[in-house]
Structure 1
Amino acid sequence: MKIAVVGSYGAGLTMRVPRSPAAGETLAGGEFSEGPGGKGSNQAIGAARLGAQVSLLTAVGDDAFGAAARELWQAEGIDASHVIVGTKPTMVGFILVEPDGENRIVIASGALDELDADAVGSFSAAIADADILVVSMEIPEPAVIAALRLGREHGTTTLLNPAPARPLPDEAWPLIDILTPNQTEAPVLLGLPADHGLREADLVAELGARVAGDVVLTRGGAGALVLSGGVVTEVAAQRVEHVVDTTGAGDAFTAALAVGLAGGADLVDSVRLAGCAGAHAVTVLGVIPALARRADLDLPIGENA
């Protein structure tokens, strides 16, 4: 199972708070922690822990956060030889986590702004060699489009995790084999207003009419809707007793989905595996500790599982 990931790395500065402060309010009682993050890096680590060979393209600064990232990728067995060292600082994300596990995130993108189409071109061989290309959208749009286009040119299955969401340009839609928005990202991709009034099934249909392949609409505790071959399948959520932290659940889901597909499972079964990984993630505090290993999941992984 070979997976190429084009996405972000950043340092996550997390504050657990009794509640989110109002505008202008100073709130005491927070608990601070620091750790690695960024959707691309998280997804790469999640896929590697589930048994895939992973190559990562991102950009970091020439700073302590960037050095820590390289140590992490080496420890997790990820090929980071193509990672760009930019002139700006490594991306930083500030995360507020409330007692019920809900989170709010603000990002300073830094070196990621320097991840351009030329940098993606240098990653072409890794994309060509992969079973699945995973792209997320914390990086500049030209890099997203360039990665998807290379995936299409090389015949590599492209999976776009459209987070953080923004309207997709027309040229992107035919380059996507699998699109995985959540229920708030889907209308943004379509350029719809907040009061669009469409049901989730309608959103899936609208996305399916534009994308070249399949759609997975994730709905947190309500599971997922999968549109494949014109058929919509509802995949139930995996139940957990207590939600601790939802921060890394989406990345855990994406990583396991890619691993399932790279291992030869069909889309619905891969979504079930991804749901198990996402459910595991919400029971563990912190993003990297929450990314599952094979032994943490109940479903088989890969052709030889």
Structure 2
Amino acid sequence: MSDILCIGSVLWDIIGRAPASLRLGSDVPGRITRLPGGVAMNIAMTLTRFGLRPALLTAVGRDAEGDELIAACLRMGLDCSHVYRSDDLPTDRYMAIEGANGLIAAIADAHSLEMAGDKILRALGDGALGSVAQPYAGLIALDGNLTEALISDIARSPLFAQADLRVAPASPGKAERLLPLLGHPSATLYVNLEEAGLIAKGRYESAAEAAEALLARGAARVLVTDGGRDAAMGTAGQGVITGRPPQVLVTRVTGAGDTFMAAHIVAEARGEPRAQALEAALRAAADYVSGDIGS
């Protein structure tokens, strides 16, 4: 039995990192790595480091890259028994360039996940993990690489009515896909300041201000990060609290938000109260961006 379902993108991360600050047209020496990635995958990998047992619900091609990716997931202790393997869709990929001045550009090719649609959710309805009569009642980490139509279906589906939904956009460009889940009574949204502004339809100067705005628009719970500035957690009926991330030397950024989300889920699963859970998540994210936690 798994402790949590991670639904969304599982793909290959191809990341180019250079120690210099980069600008448009820069051509510099650096390192290029290929690692298992994707929002759902990054969350699952972090959860395993904290002792949880995640199961993946995603789409992976039956190509060589897909076989290699599944093998890597299994070596990390991830449950892949419910992964949808497609005969005609290639394994997805993500490519990013990072410099000393942060993320320069990224392209997410998650088209296979989008085209697979609700096929990735079959186990939640066929009795393997749940059904309409007995919906899955545990933790679910859901990422915004799913299509807006599928996210809308999830927001209304009885298969998710009992679940503790933890939701993150894949990027600011996909943040508005989460709008159907804004009023879901058991959904917790994990967003950065830019994503919060896109969902709440406004511009905000701080994470606390953005959290207040999301609660006002019907969110049940939100966590808003803002890089090295204060993060905020808001809960309907309980208000907003803030936390300051530890100051560290940033060596990487891709995957930091997923690490924050996973660490917060684990802290709450251990029964830690709001302020301590937020602090634990910020500390884990700081360790990650500083390189103290391995990829």
**TMscore range, shorter length:** 0.7 to 0.9
**Residues 121 and 145 of structure 1, relative CA distance in 2, 3 Å threshold:** farther
**1:214 aligned to which of 208, 221, 245:** 221
Is the CA contact 2:208–2:224 (under 8 Å) kept in the aligned structure 1? Answer: no
Partner of 2:188: 178
For residue 162 of structure 1, report the CA deviation from its aligned partner.
Answer: 2.1
Partner of 1:301: none
**Residues 13 and 117 of structure 1, relative CA distance in 2, 3 Å threshold:** same
Matching residue's letter, 1:106:
I
Partner of 1:271: 278
Partner of 2:294: 289
What CA distance in whole angstroms lies between the structure 2 residues aligned with 1:181 and 1:170?
12
Partner of 1:159: 166
1:34 aligns with 2:26: no
What CA distance in whole angstroms lies between the structure 2 residues aligned with 1:249 and 1:199?
19
SS for the counterpart of 1:116 is helix
TM-score (norm 2): 0.85
**2:287 aligned to which of 262, 266, 280:** 280
For residue 121 of structure 1, report the CA deviation from its aligned partner.
Answer: 3.9
TM-score (norm 1): 0.82
What CA distance in whole angstroms lies between the structure 2 residues aligned with 1:275 and 1:152?
32
Listed as ranges, the matches of 1:106-121 within 5 Å are: 106-121=107-122
SS for the counterpart of 2:176 is coil
**Residues 5 and 148 of structure 1, relative CA distance in 2, 3 Å threshold:** farther
Partner of 2:239: 231
**Residues 171 and 152 of structure 1, relative CA distance in 2, 3 Å threshold:** farther
% identical equivalent positions: 25
Listed as ranges, the matches of 1:2-151 within 5 Å are: 2-17=3-18, 18-22=20-24, 25=25, 27-86=27-86, 87-124=88-125, 126=129, 128-129=135-136, 131-150=138-157
Is the CA contact 2:8–2:40 (under 8 Å) kept in the aligned structure 1? Answer: yes
What CA distance in whole angstroms lies between the structure 2 residues aligned with 1:52 and 1:7?
18
Is the CA contact 2:263–2:281 (under 8 Å) kept in the aligned structure 1? Answer: yes
Matching residue's letter, 1:214:
R
What CA distance in whole angstroms lies between the structure 2 residues aligned with 1:169 and 1:100?
29
CA RMSD across the alignment: 2.6
For residue 173 of structure 1, report the CA deviation from its aligned partner.
Answer: 1.8
For residue 16 of structure 1, report the CA deviation from its aligned partner.
Answer: 1.9
Once structures 1 and 2 are overlaid, which stretch shifts more, 27-36 or 176-185? 27-36
Give ranges in structure 2 of 5+ residues lacking alignment.
Answer: none
What CA distance in whole angstroms lies between the structure 1 residues aligned with 2:129 and 2:162?
12
For residue 74 of structure 1, report the CA deviation from its aligned partner.
Answer: 1.0
**Residues 197 and 207 of structure 1, relative CA distance in 2, 3 Å threshold:** closer
For residue 137 of structure 1, report the CA deviation from its aligned partner.
Answer: 0.6
**Residues 10 and 123 of structure 1, relative CA distance in 2, 3 Å threshold:** same
What CA distance in whole angstroms lies between the structure 2 residues aligned with 1:8 and 1:223?
28
What CA distance in whole angstroms lies between the structure 1 residues aligned with 2:76 and 2:188?
26
For residue 156 of structure 1, report the CA deviation from its aligned partner.
Answer: 1.9
Matching residue's letter, 2:22:
S
Aligned length: 282
1:256 aligns with 2:263: yes
What CA distance in whole angstroms lies between the structure 1 residues aligned with 2:267 and 2:145?
24
